[in-house]
Amino acid sequence: MYKYSCLNPIAGVGLNKFTEDYEFARNMDDADAVLVRSAKMHDLIFSDKLACIARAGAGVNNIPVERCAEEGIVVFNTPGANANGVKELVLAGMLLASRDIVGGMNWVKEHADDKEIDKSAEAAKKQFAGREISGKKLGIIGLGYIGQMVANCATHLGMDVYGYDPFISVDAAWNLSRSIHHIQDVTEIYRECDFITIHVPLTDSTKNMVDAAAIDSMKTGVVFLNLARDLLVDEEAMVRALKTGKVAKYVTDFANPTVASAPNTLVTPHLGASTEESEDNCAVMAVNEIMDYLENGNIRNSVNYPNCDLGKCTSASRIAILHRNVVNMIGQFTAIIAGENVNIANMTNKSRGDYAYTLLDLESPATDSIVSRLRETNGVIRVRVVK
């Protein structure tokens, strides 16, 4: 029997995927797996039983990913599950920034008692006039799941789309419309585009990548959209640019003191993935990742260990080893198993940075001696007997 715990409300359509072999644990210390959305986990102490954490969403800044790797805890996320919800909010943000819809609606509310509001509206509407997005240049920084969806939709809205992603995957490239301009230097997007939207993960190299120098190189009157992470943008520099008119509008999904009252901002309270469909998709993907890992040892969409899939085990036993990515680990594993007169039926090994993962299918049950010797091997972080 496996046990799971939830640090945030998780959509029932996902939790219902758990079979009768799973039981909810109120105490996280009793859980083999934890599902989380936005709860902060950096100060938590994890039990030796915890095998994996699944973030029902893409960003994992609320999880101590490196510490989890050191403790042999696999951290999953759900890339692409909320992409459509974020894409739709990006499109809405562009439209709201182009047409003063919010200002017009507020004017109507303020004049709701005017008996001749229809006539007054005709005189007032000029102050809310905007511009159309068709024919404008849109620059997209980051062409992952969300970026490519925004790009393709924008082409259907008549926009001239420029895409920048030095690490674009083959699948993403195939999914992009042929009409999208592939840009090799992000400064070209800053220089040419009327609208710019950013969709990259927050890392040490991307933090504050949109700084004062980047903003200065943009077209005067640009609309900048940030529905990825607030720290990608130097928001103090952005606010200064908003005050001077260098940037016409800043659309962000991250409310904070810097932007909440700044001029020419459209700030939403982290609504990008706040749709029923996105929450359902993330929950289903997270639960499937947990079940496949606990039951089969397979890793999909981990952010701290390599993806690794050996399918379902049809042999007598399967052992999963989380270890450091150093030389001769496989040799040591196979020597231990051969020394116990056990044959390996199938195996796979994958690495990612400092860490690696090995799955071993054995033709005989894994003995306590095999497991003990594997755990004692220098460089091994954790050993799980999957079957």
254: its two tokens: 């991250």
Average pLDDT over residues 274-295: 96
Q: What percentage of the chain has pLDDT greater than the value 90?
A: 95
> Is residue 282's pLDDT more than 90?
yes
- pLDDT band at residue 58, thresholds of 50, 70 and 90? confident
Coil, helix or strand for 101?
helix
- pLDDT band at residue 275, thresholds of 50, 70 and 90? very high
User: Residues 30, 31, 36, 40: what is their CA dihedral angle, to the nearest 10 degrees?
Assistant: 40
- pLDDT band at residue 42, thresholds of 50, 70 and 90? very high
Separation between Cα atoms, residue 273 and residue 270, nearest integer Å: 8
**Mean pLDDT, the chain, whole residue set:** 96
Which is more confident, 168 or 333?
A: 333
> Is residue 346's pLDDT more than 90?
yes
57-61, 63-67, 68-72: range with lowest mean pLDDT: 57-61
Instruction: Judge whether 26 and 5 are in contact, CB under 8 Å.
Output: yes
Average pLDDT over residues 100-112: 95
Q: Which domains does the chain have, with CATH numbers?
A: 1-81+273-305 (3.40.50.720), 83-267 (3.40.50.720), 307-387 (3.30.70.260)
Decide: pTM greater than 0.75. yes
pLDDT at position 173 is: 85
| CA angle 282–284–290, rounded 5-degree value | 100
Query: What amino acid occupies position 340?
Result: E
> Is residue 31's pLDDT more than 90?
yes
- pLDDT band at residue 39, thresholds of 50, 70 and 90? very high
> Is residue 355's pLDDT more than 90?
yes
Q: In this structure, how many other beta carbons lie within 10 angstroms of the beta carbon of residue 379?
A: 14
Instruction: Judge whether 155 and 134 are in contact, CB under 8 Å.
Output: no
